[in-house]
Each structure stands twice: as C-alpha cells, then as structure tokens.
Structure 1
Amino acid sequence: MTATLPSTTPAMTGHRPTSGPARLIATEAKLFLREPIGLIFVFAFPILTVLIIGSSFEPDDPAFGGAAPSDYYIAAYIGVVLAAVGLVMLPVHLASYRERGVLRRFQASHFSPWALPVAWIVVATTLTVVAVATLLATTQLVFGVPAIDDAPLTLVGLALSIWTSINTGIVLGLALPSARAAQGVGLALFFPSFLLGGAGPPPDVMPSVMRTVAELVPTTHVVQTIQQPWLGTGSSTTPHLIVLAVIGVVTTIAWIKLANRVATR
C-alpha cells in the first residue's frame, strides 16, 4: 500500500541538476500506479457497484425524482470516483511521503518547492479523468449514458468537484502521520460518504434524520453539482456549488500551510 520511492529520483536525492517538471510528474504517476488499493477504489469499485445497483430498481421507480435509476447512479458514481481519489488514493500516497521524510528532503533538491504539489495535482487530475471516462464507457455498454441536460453547468460542477476532492486528499495526506493512519481514516470516511452522498439509497427512501446527516456530507454536494444539471433534476445547483467552492478555498489554504509546516520540520 505504501509507495516505494526510487532511490534515483532526482527530486528526492538532490544529486543531479533538475531535469524538469515532466520527469517529476512521470515519476509521481508511476508511484501512484503502484498502489493497488487506491486503484481498486478509484477504478474497479465504482464500476462494479454501479453495475449492480443500477440494475436493482424498476425503471419507473418514483424514488429517483423522475430519472431512470441507471441514469441517476451513473451520474452519482462519478462522485464515488472523486471520493475515492480524495479519501483513499491521495491521502495514503502523501502520508507515506511524510512518514519517510520525503518532503523535507525535497526542500534540498533543485526543484521548486511547488513542483511536488503541482505533480500531485496533475497526476491526480489525470487519473480522475481517466477513471471517470472508464466508468462512463463501461456504463454506456450496459445501460447507455444519459444525455446531458445542461452541459456547461455540468462541466463546471465536475471541475469544481475534482478541485475540491484533490485538495481534500492533499490535506488528509499531509495531516496524517503515516500511510496506515491515512488508510484507516480514509476508508472510515469513504464508506459513509459513499452510502449517504447519493450513491447508496436514494434520498427519498431515507429517514428524515439520515437525509439531514447526508446534507452534511461533502460527497452529497459533489453528486448534486454533477447530477442535477446532467439529468435536469432538482431546483437549483447554486447552493451545492457554493458549498464546494468554500470547501475548495479552505482546503487549498490548509494544504499550503501544512506543506510549509511539514517541509520545515
């Protein structure tokens, strides 16, 4: 589960002059791809689960607000991909760096202090886009992907959701002391987010107390900012966009402060 950092990586050894950010991004990509648990939760888990749950309801079930159950869950499970990136994959990868003092050693390298966080963001964004595309390609073969009602607003919601999820993952990865701790905390947060955030039972069948709790789960807002404009459901996406924007700003400030603190210890 813990990433193994090659001893020849110039960013960590400082024995060579900088060879550019592309090399660092490529190295980070290889390290992310070596973590099977993170890849399972980002790629395999959403696909397998949506195929099962998307075919478990009658097509005209009123609990989905007029949307077909398969359409409802296809849009919702993009949120599951983002939750897996922000709560499982990124925290474990980054916490392993902190645990082994990689961030401190990076400060002595020839790279800019911002090079490593930029590499994380680029690689995480790329993997997220690939995972979402894989999810949609698979569900297209089984259910067919629904037409997008409002494409610009859907893309805005998706972009904001990706930004927020990646920021959250960086915060957790830099705040938690070890990869094992990050794995435990991440999984403990992921499953309630998955079940209450819109990818489990539809809100209309939940007790009122559970619906209230679900409104406090960030994944709920991620799912709604994508699902509502895509399927043309709900009254307004604006409140969910505002919540995600606030979370995105707060987590950005938090991980910048944490990165500076961890690197100087």
Structure 2
Amino acid sequence: MTSTIHHPPPAVPGADETVTQRRRYRSTTRRLLTTELRLLGRDPLTLTFVLVFPIVTMLIIGGSFGTEPDEAFPVNPSHWYVASYFTVVIGATGLIMLPVHIASYRERGVLRRFAASGFPRWSFAVAQLAIGLSAIAIAGLLLLAVAAPVYGVPDVDDPVRVTAGIVVGSVAFVSIGVLLGTLLPSARAAQAIGLLLFFPSFLLGVGGPPPAVMSEALREIADRLPLALANQAIREPWLGIGNATGALLTTTAIAVVATALAARRTAL
C-alpha cells in the first residue's frame, strides 16, 4: 500500500522581508515628516516671509486704494488685494522657504545621511510636499483671519475653481521650491536666487499695482509669470471677474512638469 505525501506549497522567497521593509519605510517616513514639521516653526525665514511679510504688506497696500471700484480695480480694491495675497503666501513658500531649507540640508550633508540611513527614495519628496502645503495652509488661514476684521474677506464666487487654483498653484510652487533647493549649492545661493525670483513676480503679478495702471510692456511680462498665472487662477473666480481657465490649465501644466522634475531630483 502506497501513501501519498502532501507537501506544503513552497514559501514565496522574501515575502516576509518585503512586508517588514514596507513597515519600516512607513515608520521612518512618518518620523521624517514629524521632524520636518516640527522644524518648520523654528525657522525665522519661514516666520518672516511666509507668515509675516504677506500679512504686513496686505495691511499696507490693501488700505491704499479705498474700497470703491474704479477704472483700475473692477472690484473693491481691498478685496482685490486680500484675494491676491493668498498667492503671495504660495510664492513665498515655493521660492524662498523651501529652496533655502533644502539647500541648507545639501550644504550640511543631511541628504547623504538620509540616503545612508535607508530612507525610501520617495520619502524626502513626500515630506517636503507636506511641509510646503502645511505652511501654505497655515499662513493662508492666518492671512484671512487678519484680513477679516480689517478689510473683510470677499465672498468666493466659484468655490470649485478657486479650490482647484489653490491646490494646483500650491503643488506647482512647492515642487518648484523643492527643485530649486536640490539644484542650488548652498542656502545663501538659494536665498539670493529665491529673492530675485520672488520680488519681480510679487510686484508685477500679484501684490503690486493693478494691471490697468501698468505699461503695456510690463503687462506682457506680468501675464507670463508663473506666479501671476497662479494668482489669476485663484483671484478671478474668487472675485467673480472671470473663470481664468487658461491660467488654470497653464498652472496645471507647470505643476505636472515641476513635480516630475522635483521627484526625479529628490530620489535619494
């Protein structure tokens, strides 16, 4: 009489190791994100350019043109600048805060230590995205909280388009900030380049004089600035002065390209 011996199915090689590795990656990425968010509030450059600068300049400029629409402003000028300065927060985060933060890491060899410590390749990019979006959310809400008792927060005419503009613009400039931080050799260089990129965009496309009082040449330049396009995608549907479809699509394209390049550069 012969007996049949049933053998258990062969174990999948490395299955347990793969599960363990995934859990370790989630744990290390969570620790990295927690640490980075904690450091966010200790950076004086962050507090100055992302929190303080937009609020102070909004309070000054927002009260300089009265509250009645005229030839230069199609809506209440104060509301015009309240809506515009939300984009200033986005630009300050992407062009100043993140490049300096990341370039200082490169300068001190922190990124090499991340790689040597076994962090997953995508963890640093995810952490910087979360930091940038958190900074924009906190600073943007603080800006609106300060504006509310002074100038009032304008009613949102098209919430869907405004939300889309904020999300796409934020992702675009956070990705640009990460990209700049990984390309520039030092924190000082990142600060210099960031300021050179930020202030012309700020003055021409967002927080400066209205386009109606600019020369034709300046308007042509302003219309092509990425920060101005993001501002149009947010401000126009917010104030009900247009749908800004072209600006939204262009900003989306910028976000896709910048995110792809930033992800490639931050692969540890």
Which residue of 1 is the match for residue 10 of structure 2? Answer: none
What is the CA–CA distance in structure 2 between the aligned matches of 1:20 and 1:250, rounded to whole Å?
28
Query: Shift of the alpha carbon at 1:244?
Result: 0.6
Question: Following superposition of structure 1 onto structure 2, how do residues 89-108 of structure 1 map, counting pairs within 5 Å?
Answer: 89-108=97-116
State yes or no: 1:79 paired with 2:87. Answer: yes
In structure 2, list runs of 5 or more residues that go unmatched. Answer: 1-23
Give the counterpart of 1:247 among 246, 251, 254: 254
Comparing 102-111 with 148-157, greater Cα deviation is found at: 102-111
- Using structure 1 for the length normalisation, give the TM-score: 0.88
8 Å CA contact retained: 1:167, 1:248? yes
Query: Shift of the alpha carbon at 1:81?
Result: 0.4
Could you give the per-residue CA deviations for residues 94-139 of structure 1, whole angstroms, max 9, x where no partner exists? Answer: 0011112222221122321211211111121111101000000000
From the superposition, tell whether residues 127 and 42 of structure 1 become closer, same or farther in structure 2 (CA, over 3 Å).
Answer: same
State yes or no: 1:186 paired with 2:194. Answer: yes
Which residue of 1 is the match for residue 40 of structure 2? Answer: 32
Could you give the per-residue CA deviations for residues 219-264 of structure 1, whole angstroms, max 9, x where no partner exists? Answer: 1111111101110013x3111011111111111121122223xx4x
What is the CA–CA distance in structure 1 between the aligned matches of 2:44 and 2:68, rounded to whole Å?
38
Question: Following superposition of structure 1 onto structure 2, how do residues 1-265 of structure 1 map, counting pairs within 5 Å?
Answer: 19-234=27-242, 236-260=243-267, 263=268
Q: Which amino acid aligns with 2:251?
A: L
What is the CA–CA distance in structure 2 between the aligned matches of 1:96 and 1:198, rounded to whole Å?
28
Q: Secondary structure at the match of 2:252?
A: helix
Comparing 251-260 with 205-214, greater Cα deviation is found at: 251-260
What is the CA–CA distance in structure 2 between the aligned matches of 1:203 and 1:63, rounded to whole Å?
11
Which residue of 2 is the match for residue 7 of structure 1? Answer: none
Comparing 55-64 with 150-159, greater Cα deviation is found at: 55-64
Could you give the per-residue CA deviations for residues 43-86 of structure 1, whole angstroms, max 9, x where no partner exists? Answer: 00000101111110132242444210010000000110000000
Which residue of 2 is the match for residue 4 of structure 1? Answer: none
Could you give the per-residue CA deviations for residues 168-205 of structure 1, whole angstroms, max 9, x where no partner exists? Answer: 10011001000000000001111111101121000000
What is the CA–CA distance in structure 2 between the aligned matches of 1:110 and 1:176, rounded to whole Å?
24
Q: Which amino acid aligns with 2:266?
A: A
What is the CA–CA distance in structure 2 between the aligned matches of 1:32 and 1:60, rounded to whole Å?
39
What is the CA–CA distance in structure 1 between the aligned matches of 2:245 and 2:156, rounded to whole Å?
18
Q: Which amino acid aligns with 1:205?
A: V
Q: Secondary structure at the match of 1:58?
A: coil
What is the CA–CA distance in structure 2 between the aligned matches of 1:63 and 1:186, rounded to whole Å?
34
Comparing 41-50 with 54-63, greater Cα deviation is found at: 54-63
Q: Secondary structure at the match of 1:110?
A: coil
- Using structure 2 for the length normalisation, give the TM-score: 0.87
8 Å CA contact retained: 1:43, 1:81? yes
What is the CA–CA distance in structure 2 between the aligned matches of 1:107 and 1:239, rounded to whole Å?
40
Identity rate of aligned residues, in percent?
45
8 Å CA contact retained: 1:86, 1:166? yes
What is the CA–CA distance in structure 1 between the aligned matches of 2:111 and 2:249, rounded to whole Å?
33
Comparing 103-112 with 114-123, greater Cα deviation is found at: 103-112
**Pairs aligned (count):** 244
What is the CA–CA distance in structure 1 between the aligned matches of 2:111 and 2:45, rounded to whole Å?
23
